[in-house]
Amino acid sequence: MKDIIIHGRYRVNRRIGEGGFGLVYAGTDTELDEHVAIKLMHVKDDPGTLETEARTYKALSGGTGIPRVLWYGQEGDYYCLVHDLLGPSLEDLLNYCDRRFSLKTVLLLADQAISRIKYIHDKKRLHGDSKPDNFLMGTGRQGNVLYTIDFGLARDLPNADHHGALGGRSFAGTTRYASLNCHNGREYSWSDDLESLGYVLLYLSKGSLPWQGLNAPTNKQKDDLIKERKAAISVASLCDGLPGEFAIYMEYTRSLELNERPDYAYLRQLFRRLFAARGFTYDNVFDWTERRFRELHNQPSEKAVQTLLTTSRTATSGHSRRSVRGIQSRKRRHISKLSR
């Protein structure tokens, strides 16, 4: 793919990932000299998923945490989707942080993730494949914003009478995080996106899920084993070791009727109240921010201070300048102590 130019403008640089539907490359917008992501799929391999993804991005454009699509079309034997280049995925960051996030980080992510799913649902879409690889952090001034990507399995809700449910279909998605309804081939609804997100939050909190590591002769048999294990384990066991709010979240999402609209505000407040009760601060300092901070402390310098402050600068509305200045001041004092 070296020295390939897409649409006479976007240069393909290096491969950075492989989604369920296509290869992803880092690229350059040669006109603006900006970094972009380029997703490619051979025309023989694409059953319409990349077009679905492009159409969904267009419908969601302008929303917080939704990357901008810069171009979609066919170039030679490939369908191409060009959008903003984002930062690392939650899976990447989990590996960086020794396979487990703190409660504070999980709650910060949960607040944003529920908001993203609500926005998608408000636009009469269902994501269909919530997983850590499909949640990415932004870059630069948007470095603390959680983005949702990979809409190849997105479902459209054609009209208001559809009530947030689509007819049953063969299984599609990621088995590890799929809802029980999805495993059973039932109609897909709003609640399924939220149940899948619940499994993601548990995974980020614990580093694994109880149905990982199961072995079977075929993928179909393995999927069946995961389904059986997921259905058999109680919510209490699933959420063991975590605050009760996680069990409440899972019970709530599993209890929703097919056409019942979720109460997103209730779910966000559930975790926000826990956040406040633990004395956490909405400072957008995630585990990876702290880890990078500690790494920079090995050689304290003004550059290290500026890098830290840039990383932790709030990228979302609703956070006071006073709070941010206080955080920065505390970090400067801490660095000063370490450098004595």
For 26-68, the DSSP string reads: EEEETTTTEEEEEEEEETTT-SSHHHHHHHHHHHHTTSTT-PP
pLDDT confidence tier of residue 303, bands split at 50, 70 and 90: low
In the chain the domains, ranked by start, together with CATH numbers, are: 5-84 (3.30.200.20), 90-277 (1.10.510.10), 287-339 (no CATH)
pLDDT confidence tier of residue 298, bands split at 50, 70 and 90: confident
* 222 annotated binding-site participant: no
Question: Within 10 A of 322 (CB to CB), how many other CB atoms are there?
Answer: 8
Question: Within 10 A of 170 (CB to CB), how many other CB atoms are there?
Answer: 5
Q: What is the pTM of this model?
A: 0.84
Helix pair 287-296, 302-312: axis angle to 10 deg: 180
Question: Within 10 A of 289 (CB to CB), how many other CB atoms are there?
Answer: 17
What region does 270 belong to: left with phi over 0, alpha with psi -120 to 50, or beta?
alpha
User: Is 81 buried (19+), middle (13-18) or exposed (0-12) by CB count in 10 A?
Assistant: buried
CB 146 within 8 A of CB 134: no
Distance CA 33, CA 108 (A): 33
Distance CA 125, CA 154 (A): 7
Between residues 300 and 311, which one has the greater pLDDT? 311
pLDDT of residue 201: 99
pLDDT of residue 316: 44
* Percent of the chain predicted with pLDDT > 70: 82
137: which strand partners?
146
Indicate the pairing of strand 69-75 with strand 22-29. Answer: unpaired
* Side-chain half-sphere exposure of 42, counting CA atoms within 13 A: 3
Residue numbers annotated as active site:
129
* Range 157-178 average pLDDT: 67
- 14-18, 215-219, 250-254: which is most confident: 250-254
pLDDT of residue 129: 95
35-47 pLDDT per residue, tens: 999 999 999 987 7
